[in-house]
Structure 1
Amino acid sequence: MSRRGQGPSGQPTIADVARHAGVAVSTVSYVLSGKRAISELTRNRVLASIRLLGYHPNAGARALASRRANVIALVLPLRSGIQVPVVMQFATAVVTSARRHDHDVLLLTSDEGPAGLHRIAAGALVDGVLVMDVELHDARVPLLRELGRPSVLIGLPADTAGLTCVDLDFHRAGQLCVEHLAGLGHRRVALLGAPSAVYDRGTGFAHRTRAGVVEAAARHGVDAVTLPCEENAADVHHRVATLLAQHPELSGLVVQNEAAVGPVQAALAALGRRVPDDVSVVAVCPDHVAEHANPRLTSVPVPAEEIGRQAVSLLMRKLHDEPAPQVTLLPPRLIVRDSTAAAPVDAGHVAARDDQAAAQ
């Protein structure tokens, strides 16, 4: 084979492909870009020349020639109430898993809403889409059902028909937390959940956890209070102080807000509540947060890496026209550490002790 016209690296160029196929360079370009209709005969001849010469176009052109971009989009939730470290765990897992399937990842932000999905679906930028921070009545869902691109939701909307979704079973996670506390004899507990903005948006994971807490509490005869919890220390302290003042017999806390875990523990200490002697604490949070807390937290871990891997795997199945389940919910597990213990024999003894100390 003649090497004339090859680039300085010794690799075949687009001009070599054109000569070999007996067409103009512009025709090869149109075959690669898809911007102009080319007869099937000519297209096949150009693609055959590409294979025979071992031509490696840039990623975008190569993808268009094969009708694939080898890129997937990940819609990230960078907005109020979202924990960026947790989001980055999901993103890292998606990027790592996608590379194992020879795909790159295009990052988008959820503030673009349906318009962002329209934009990437209109062109040949990506083969499929992963969507995070799914709301119960998400405005993007109707569009995802109609897109000409496979999609997977990391989260669960109220109506999953025609979709592919993967997430932790947050409803069951909420149940596990209450069941653990109930088994230790706690009869009055509270959920300090996600920030108000997360509930106001109707974000699925927060509402599902709350529903699980309420359901399990009713089943086990436990009085449960559920409240949103902001992230800064002053707000957390005020929330905990108000909660204990209004419910002096409260002896168990479930926390679903990674940023609030440390401030909750600090607030309890400042208010004279010992963990776990006076108040037991269970968290729904990443494992490293629970492990590094003082005391170490009994927790239901959020398996961001596993969910990310599963999401990519499901999307690849759809890209290869393989069947994929409509809903995949990872079963939660509760890890018992140092922050939970049997309920105080007299749940009101803490308030009485505080009143006595104040009188002195």
Structure 2
Amino acid sequence: MITIKEVAHHAGVSMSTVSYVLSGKRSISEETKRRVEQSIVALGYHPNAGARALASNRARVVGLVVPLHSDQNLPIIMRFVSSIVARARDHDYDVLLLTKEAGPGEAHRVIARSMADAIVVMDVESADPRVPELRAVDAPVVLLGVPDDHEGLSCLDLDFTTAGRQMASHLADRGHRSIALIGSPPPVYERGTSFAARLLAGFQGETAKRGLLASVHSCAAGYDAVSKCLDDVLHPDRGTTGLVVHNEAVLGPLLLELRRRSLDVPGDLSVITLCPDDVAATLPVPLTSIAVPAEELGAIAVEMVMARLGRELAPEVRLLQPLLTDRGSTAVR
């Protein structure tokens, strides 16, 4: 990679002169400026984000707020992060990853110190305490998630409410009368995480509308926790014939435990899940699923903040419609 030192040597000037040409902070003679620019072209030098920031009075950085919790599925989180980083780089922006618990004031601190030009917020709660602060941030802010009170904020997510309804409806349409939701770990619901609450609301709304017997089971990660959860789900009094699984981390252990109990999918028990397509397709039993479009959501979030840089655009809420793929793991009863 060509460095600023090599450009300076090629042009016969100091490194500070090259920096001044790039930043425009000081007056440089036209002749010197032309030599530096010719050297940049000849060597194929690409200024880094910091140098470009000097010229544009922007940090050319997107702040990504993603507090990490022990109950989160990190591989899924990293799909979002990787997509955001990749799309930001397409715009010659870097990403500042803020992984600590970011309470009120964090977004203001990042923007006030010129650490970032825009903010993307993940791990959004239904009653998120950061909402008043985020409304007041003097920079574009996009939430990957939808709090209950989202007035004045731009939000983006999968339509989890519709996803919950569709998965319950999928089983009901196949004659299942008693179904169960195996949901996220308890802390996810305790925090009031928006996506989990919305999927639960959709599931419960559809099962009530259809007159189904329905139970909800929060399930921690780990084989023992999955086994204990299944003991409750499959209690003979419930007569459960179909499962909706909204917990990517338990899918593998769940299928192994069903096999250990000599339960066939879908012969004995139908299973539908919400997870990335490649995960659902490569499990020991490929599962009918609604896709988590992490890569698409990450890319759209970046495009939304980029569209708002230097522009006054009205806040918007964008919900991607669920896409269900039938892989044969749900049977007609």
TM-score (norm 1): 0.81
**Offset from partner CA, 1:269-301 (integer Å, 9 cap, x none):** 223322111110000111121111122100001
Confirm whether residue 150 of structure 1 aligns to residue 151 of structure 2. Answer: no
How far, CA to CA, are the matches of 1:17 and 1:50 in structure 2? 9
Which residue matches 2:3?
none
**Offset from partner CA, 1:7-39 (integer Å, 9 cap, x none):** 32437546548999xxxxxxx99x85xxxxxxx
Could you tell me how far 1:58 is from its partner in structure 2? 6.0
Could you tell me how far 1:131 is from its partner in structure 2? 0.6
Which residue matches 1:7?
8
Mean CA deviation greater in 137-146 or 319-328: 319-328
How far, CA to CA, are the matches of 2:20 and 2:199 in structure 1? 63
Q: Return closer, same or farther for 1:157/1:246 CA change in 2, 3 Å cut-off.
A: farther
How far, CA to CA, are the matches of 1:283 and 1:77 in structure 2? 25
Confirm whether residue 176 of structure 1 aligns to residue 166 of structure 2. Answer: yes
5 Å-filtered alignment, 1:167-246, equals 167-245=157-235
Confirm whether residue 296 of structure 1 aligns to residue 297 of structure 2. Answer: no
**Paired residue secondary structure (1:105):** strand
**Offset from partner CA, 1:133-165 (integer Å, 9 cap, x none):** 100111222111111121111111011111111
Is the CA contact 1:161–1:326 (under 8 Å) kept in the aligned structure 2? Answer: no
- Aligned pair count? 319
Is the CA contact 1:295–1:338 (under 8 Å) kept in the aligned structure 2? Answer: no
5 Å-filtered alignment, 1:207-356, equals 207-245=197-235, 247-321=237-311, 323=313, 325-343=315-333
How far, CA to CA, are the matches of 1:151 and 1:19 in structure 2? 32
Is the CA contact 1:64–1:124 (under 8 Å) kept in the aligned structure 2? Answer: no
**Paired residue secondary structure (1:8):** helix
5 Å-filtered alignment, 1:108-123, equals 108-123=98-113
**Paired residue secondary structure (1:114):** coil
Is the CA contact 1:217–1:223 (under 8 Å) kept in the aligned structure 2? Answer: yes
Could you tell me how far 1:214 is from its partner in structure 2? 0.4
Is the CA contact 1:314–1:324 (under 8 Å) kept in the aligned structure 2? Answer: no
Could you tell me how far 1:85 is from its partner in structure 2? 0.5
Could you tell me how far 1:248 is from its partner in structure 2? 3.9
Is the CA contact 1:186–1:342 (under 8 Å) kept in the aligned structure 2? Answer: yes
Is the CA contact 2:8–2:18 (under 8 Å) kept in the aligned structure 1? Answer: no
Is the CA contact 2:105–2:133 (under 8 Å) kept in the aligned structure 1? Answer: no
Query: What one-letter code is carried by the residue in structure 1 that aligns with 2:265?
Result: V
How far, CA to CA, are the matches of 1:174 and 1:161 in structure 2? 24
Which residue matches 1:135?
125
> Of the candidates 137, 151, 165, which is equivalent to residue 155 of structure 2?
165
How far, CA to CA, are the matches of 1:19 and 1:240 in structure 2? 66
How far, CA to CA, are the matches of 2:237 and 2:75 in structure 1? 33
Is the CA contact 2:244–2:272 (under 8 Å) kept in the aligned structure 1? Answer: yes
Listed as ranges, the gaps of 5+ residues in structure 1 are 1-5, 21-27, 33-42, 344-360
**Paired residue secondary structure (1:186):** coil
Instruction: Specify the structure having the higher radius of gyration (Cα).
Output: 1
Could you tell me how far 1:102 is from its partner in structure 2? 1.5
TM-score (norm 2): 0.87
Is the CA contact 1:298–1:340 (under 8 Å) kept in the aligned structure 2? Answer: yes
How far, CA to CA, are the matches of 2:14 and 2:139 in structure 1? 31
Which residue matches 2:73?
83
Could you tell me how far 1:334 is from its partner in structure 2? 1.0
How far, CA to CA, are the matches of 2:29 and 2:106 in structure 1? 32
Which residue matches 1:36?
none
Mean CA deviation greater in 212-221 or 241-250: 241-250
Q: Return closer, same or farther for 1:245/1:70 CA change in 2, 3 Å cut-off.
A: same
